[in-house]
Amino acid sequence: MSRPSIHLATLLAAVLAAGTPALAQSGHAGHGAPAAAQQPSGPGKVLYYRNPMGLPDTSPVPRKDSMGMDYIPVYEGDAVSAPAAAPAQSPTGSRKILYYRNPMGLPDTSPVPKKDPMGMDYVPVYEGEDSASGAVTISPDKVQKLGVRTEAAARRTVSRQVRAVGTVQVDERRLFIVAPKFEAWIETLLVDTTGATVRQGQPLMEVYSPELVLAQQEYLVARQGGGQLAEASLQRLRNLDVPAEEIERLRKTGKASRTLTYRAAAGGVVLEKTAVRGMRFMPGEALYRIADLSNVWLITDVFEQDLGHVRPGQEVEVTVNSLPGRGFSGRVGFVYPTLTAESRTGKVRIELPNADGLLKPNLYATVHLATDVNAVPGAMAGLAVPDSALLDTGRRQAVLVETGEGRYEPRDVKAGARADGYVQILAGLEEGERVVVRANFLIDSESNLRAALSAFGGSGGQHQHQ
């Protein structure tokens, strides 16, 4: 073969070799076309960016995590990132879904359906549920599961039981001290035991007093001269508490007595006795302490929060530890104007009749006092709800009001007195409105969460946890 023929053959072989792929592609056009159709012209629209470590954290714009890793884009139609994707429709199809919140109450939201790390579906938040008022709508089955119970606010008369403890004390108005006004010696002790009962005018002791003997003799001398000097001598004896019968004896007999019989000025029980036979006492020295126990006082310590419910004249029931099963009735006599700082209690005096003498000084007693809050000055009678309905944080008092079937909203109120398991509502609630009295803490936490999410600015659906 000549050289031109070789060059031509070589050139033809090269052309054929170069055209083979094209021919092959043309020959398999039916197979290649579908492959080209399956390849998208672009990746599609990016819905949001998710955390590269799988944490429940999304972002509407590209960003990096704390380790510098890029957030992964989630495209429209991506079934892996949103396995729970479903049409954003409410069960009735009448409300728009604003966003999806974390099912565990964490501050994490998503614009599309998603699951948390434990596989729980995010909860949809519908239009109208995202208001700053914190209103909550709960399905009937959830209401039943939570055990939600409501009760209507109504006007009622309530009373509370005030319980206090105290000790029996002597009525200070019935306490007497035997303290002679002259110096003397005790020659005979007629009442010589502590605890003895004495009558008014009963002889207590016989005493010898040089001062009394001298005063009697002065009177006898002055009487002989007559006039005002004799009367002055008798008045001196009266000032020394010499009994009237002794003075009368002196005037009739005209003889001074060496000893004087000292009598009790009042009847009662001898609580203390310092008098001893043969002792010398000075003017004003207390020899006997006598108390009339036919009426006694009960001094009780009432807690600060209960003092406003106690007033003079109220009837009380008293029980004593030493007399189980026995009750006593009395009345509040006085509310002391001071407060004990250490125990935060105020003292209340209760007056008790004690004709049979069973109530002894220093006995420990318990007081039960029924008070009508409507009779307490400053308290307002009227609207009341069960005290379990009140949510009191210390700075805010609120109740959850049922505004419709399964719909509840928090309402600020002003609370008053508490009694009989109820609390008075002074402002913020109307008669007949139903309030949640059971499971209200669960609903309130849900309400606070939604109000907080909506307060992040803009729409809750636009907020992302950064």
Question: Per-residue confidence at 459, pLDDT binned at 50, 70, 90?
Answer: very low
Contact 171/333 with Cβ under 8 angstroms? Answer: no
What CA–CA distances, in Å, run from 142 to 81, 439, 442?
Answer: 29, 11, 11
- Long-range pairs for 37-44 at CB < 8 Å and ≥24 separation? 43/73, 43/75, 44/75, 44/76, 44/77
d(CA 361, CA 269): 11
Q: What is the mean pLDDT of the chain?
A: 76
Q: Which amino acid is it at 12?
A: L
What pLDDT is attached to residue 440?
59
Q: Is the pLDDT of residue 81 over 50?
A: no
Give the DSSP letter of residue 428.
S
Q: Is the pLDDT of residue 401 over 80?
A: yes
d(CA 447, CA 453): 10
In the chain, what is the greatest distance between 2 CA atoms, to the nearest angstrom? 199
Of residues 28 and 406, which shows the higher confidence score?
A: 406
d(CA 73, CA 58): 10
Share of the chain above pLDDT 70, in %: 73
Would you say the pTM of this structure is higher than 0.75? no
Task: Look at 130-134, 191-195, 245-249, 418-422 and tell me which has the smallest mean pLDDT.
Answer: 130-134
pLDDT digits (tens, 9 = 90+) for 262-273: 999 899 999 999
Sign of CA dihedral 308, 334, 330, 315: negative
What pLDDT is attached to residue 391?
82
Of the candidates 274, 273, 249, 252, the residue with the CA atom closest to the CA atom of residue 261 = 249
Write b or e for each residue in 180-192: b if 16 or more Cβ atoms lie within 10 A of its Cβ, otherwise e. bebebebeebbbe
What pLDDT is attached to residue 466?
35
Which one of 79-93, 394-408, 436-450 scores highest in mean pLDDT?
A: 394-408
3-state per-residue secondary structure call for 46-88 = EEEEECCCCCCCEECCCCECCCCCECEEEECCCCCCCCCCCCC
Mean pLDDT (whole number) for 229-244: 89
Of the candidates 330, 308, 328, 310, the residue with the CA atom closest to the CA atom of residue 319 = 328
What CA–CA distances, in Å, run from 72 to 13, 85, 96?
Answer: 51, 18, 27
Q: Which amino acid is it at 45?
A: K
What pLDDT is attached to residue 456?
42
Question: What does the CA dihedral 144, 146, 147, 153 come to, rounded to 10 degrees?
Answer: -110
H/E stretch holding 109 reads strand 109-110
Mean pLDDT (whole number) for 172-192: 94
Of the candidates 175, 336, 365, the residue with the CA atom closest to the CA atom of residue 269 = 175
Which one of 35-44, 115-124, 372-381 scores highest in mean pLDDT?
A: 115-124
Of residues 58 and 216, which shows the higher confidence score?
A: 216
Mean pLDDT (whole number) for 118-138: 67
Of the candidates 163, 170, 150, the residue with the CA atom closest to the CA atom of residue 371 = 163
Q: Is the pLDDT of residue 274 over 70?
A: yes
Task: Look at 17-31, 240-254, 325-339, 342-356 and tell me which has the smallest mean pLDDT.
Answer: 17-31
Q: Which residues, 6+ apart, have CB-to-CB distance to 18 below 8 Å?
A: none
d(CA 343, CA 81): 63
